[in-house]
Amino acid sequence: MSINEATPEMWNKLRTKYKALAEEEQLEMENDEWLRDDDRQEYLEYPSVADPDPVNNPKHYNTGNIECIEAIQESMSTEAFKGYLKGNTMKYLWRYDYKGKASEDLEKAGWYLNKLIKEVS
């Protein structure tokens, strides 16, 4: 396989395996004068295994060939899937103030709500 065929998942596995190198690479990117500010910011915001995104890309939902949400959607009718999205939105809104991660739970509620909006549009 060539380097051009590597997927983001493969790069993230390497970042996990060689975490010190990934941190060193990030420091280099932060200090590179030639890199435009917008490119540097995009790189620093790119989710990696060292800095997982528990809202948009939770590591524990991406362990096979298909994301969990896609498998759930395929297992349900359109109406049932919309109910699932509505229920999860309500769940995260209901408990956001009780788990100690209020903003994260509100972001998760927003994620499910945005997914529901796309489904009904």
pLDDT digits (tens, 9 = 90+) for 28-52: 655 555 555 555 455 555 545 444 6
Count of CB atoms within 10 A of residue 48's CB? 17
User: Contact at 8 Å (CB) between 32 and 40?
Assistant: yes
- Provide the H-helix boundaries in 33-121: 37-45, 68-74, 78-95, 102-120
pTM over 0.75: no
Model confidence at 10, pLDDT cuts 50, 70, 90, reads: confident
For residues 12 and 85, give the distance between their C-alpha atoms in angstroms, rounded to a whole number. Answer: 28
The pLDDT score that the predictor gives to residue 23 is 62
